[in-house]
Amino acid sequence: MRTRQKLQYIAAVIAMAFLIIAMLLTSFQIAIYGDRDYGFYRKEYEKYQVADTLHMEMEDIMDVTDKMMAYLIGERGELSVVTMVDGREQDFFNGQDRFHMGEVKELFLGGLRLRSYLLAAAVLILLLLIVWKTDMGRVLPRAYLISLGGFGVLTVILGSLFASNFNRYFTIFHEIFFDNDLWMFDPAEDYMIRMLPEGFFYDFVIRIGSFFVGGLIVPGILAGGLIGFTKRGRKD
């Protein structure tokens, strides 16, 4: 019986870990697309005086943003926006922009596919636990808190690293996920990096982290409460 219970806990912890990773990927999606008017982006553009840097009207910048984000999620086939920038009408994006953003698009859509696989795997594991006649009210809350603890430690470590030297770890992130240096832009020639300065990405990481941590806390409180309720019930 003990061996079976251990297997149940291991399977439950894996399922909860899959769900937490899916929550992280969902946090990316919410941070990026949760505001259909892209109000966060507008505030960031105003904060970093992007309109002055690009010599553009804010409404034109928002139009570029809307079309760029539509491209990243697969709603536009080409990354090309002709607009007034730097005092003349031209395509906002150049060849390097299109290549790199094509890779970003593949990475983002791949993350959404991974989320679907993880959710499907978690559901299968939960069904297996039901077949095993697992005490779900006892096992799942503990499994969630175990997984939450592991991801909590990892989140604190990564958060501390990015806070200590954002540029360094932002660079490492790109070196891990991209096998070229075309993500390195020259502000003198690339309008996109002027629209999305480093400070924008720093704020965006904080935004993603806030959604992720917020999404983890509520289930964590419920899991802790359920464990406490179960313990009291047994004592009674």
User: H/E element holding 147?
Assistant: helix 136-164
The residue ranges of every structural domain in the chain are 2-235
**Within the chain, where are the H helices?**
2-33, 39-47, 50-54, 58-72, 95-131, 136-164, 166-177, 191-195, 198-235
Residue ranges of the chain with per-residue pLDDT less than 70: 1, 223-236
At residue 189, the pLDDT reads 87
Residue owning tokens 């802790």: 224
At residue 232, the pLDDT reads 54
At residue 113, the pLDDT reads 97
C-alpha to C-alpha distance for 111 and 31, rounded to whole angstroms: 14
Q: Are strands 82-85 and 88-91 parallel, antiparallel or unpaired?
A: antiparallel
Q: What is the pTM of this model?
A: 0.89
At residue 217, the pLDDT reads 85
At residue 26, the pLDDT reads 96
Per-residue pLDDT tens for 20-37?
999 999 999 999 998 889
At residue 227, the pLDDT reads 67
Evaluate the CA torsion angle 87, 89, 93, 94 in order and state its sign. Answer: negative
C-alpha to C-alpha distance for 34 and 28, rounded to whole angstroms: 9
At residue 137, the pLDDT reads 86
At 66, list the tokens.
Answer: 């809307």
